[in-house]
């Protein structure tokens, strides 16, 4: 077993530098695409849906969600391009924004999923967790 572990380690070790980028690019791209999918602003279908639930200022809220998704996704990617404290701050703020957006999405759009099997089989929980990972870890 030890020899097999060493063999796997030898294969994986050269790939270590790209592992954060696997998460960073998938999360960033996903958020950018989700946000762009809500353009042109304000996203009319979302506005109508928020209005039907009685939310105040649905045009403003839905526009902020769309812009926030694009900005958070871009920030996750751009933050990784800077190895200094600037990149670390951008990554952490963007990861935090992803976490906040996903908490909102889960509580508003998928509240019936809370602590159920459905939540843990959805992409929403993984977007939340990866965003939280970057909010905590930054570029470290």
| Domain definitions of the chain by residue range | 15-137
Question: What's the pLDDT at 41?
Answer: 92
Question: What's the pLDDT at 69?
Answer: 98
Mean pLDDT for all residues in the chain = 94
The 3-state DSSP class for residue 55 equals coil
Q: What is the pLDDT of residues 51-108, one digit of tens each?
A: 998 889 999 999 999 999 999 999 999 999 999 999 999 999 999 999 999 999 999 8
> How far apart (Å, rounded) are the C-alpha atoms in residues 34 and 79?
19
């Amino acid at each position: 077993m030890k020899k097999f572990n060493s063999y796997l380690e030898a294969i994986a070790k050269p790939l270590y530098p790209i592992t954060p980028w696997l998460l960073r690019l998938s999360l960033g791209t996903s958020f950018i695409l989700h946000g762009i999918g809500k353009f042109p602003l304000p996203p009319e279908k979302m506005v109508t849906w928020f209005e039907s639930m009685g939310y105040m200022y649905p045009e403003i809220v839905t526009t902020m969600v769309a812009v926030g998704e694009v900005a958070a996704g871009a920030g996750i990617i751009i933050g990784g391009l800077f190895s200094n404290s600037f990149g670390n701050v951008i990554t952490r703020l963007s990861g935090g924004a992803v976490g906040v957006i996903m908490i909102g999405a889960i509580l508003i759009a998928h509240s019936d999923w809370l602590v159920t099997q459905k939540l843990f089989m959805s992409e929403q929980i993984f977007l939340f967790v990866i965003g939280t990972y970057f909010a905590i870890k930054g570029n470290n």
